[in-house]
Structure 1
């Protein structure tokens, strides 16, 4: 059911289907993330905002010796709350990058790289298209960044 403000309500006949929809993501539609949450009686589409989302992150050119679930989840913890390692990564079927699902706070700057054993590695965020190159936050571009605007006002 279309609730309004780009929110939808879905119901499930089976609890297993509902649990998979809530916990099985992250889900992407046309290269954009779909946030799935349990319904709450206090929910208001007009007043709600999404501050956190699940994203797939890629650790580029990471040595295969680090393709261990505990190591990858520890690395991912510098980005946000790590949830799971991609099956292709866990089974070492992909060497160009390791892929981990992380819950990120959309109101804080994203982490662009990390240091492991003295070497810097880049991080790519799948499906996060509006990343500001000035403040590092999601949801706007550098042309309308309030960080720059505020620094001009105070500086």
Structure 2
């Protein structure tokens, strides 16, 4: 075998097979508060563990991957939100290939714009980060209290 560099091309089918274990996973981040891995794992298991088996993996930069073993459990988690830990919202998004916790940011501009719109209607109570990641388009829900 010769010495040098080799270029190996991985086709789309091989990539899909490599990513298969992660299709039923979510990427989560607690907004406005940092907690350690053990605390986050325990809280997530208490909220979602009743549904079935799941794994929690620390991705770094306060992002966690939650791997579900049943599609029904993943679907229920997405639909039943928004979720809170220590009275802070848990941002939830579907897993995606090549996710980088060091370069990914939560869309604060959109949140600020929604809050201003909500405050024009009434006092904004909450912004639901979960619905923006379902197959309902790319919008977010918010609730305003009318006084």
Q: Which has the higher helix share?
A: 2
TM, length-normalised to structure 1: 0.39
Q: Which has the higher contact order (CA 8 A, sep 6+)?
A: 2
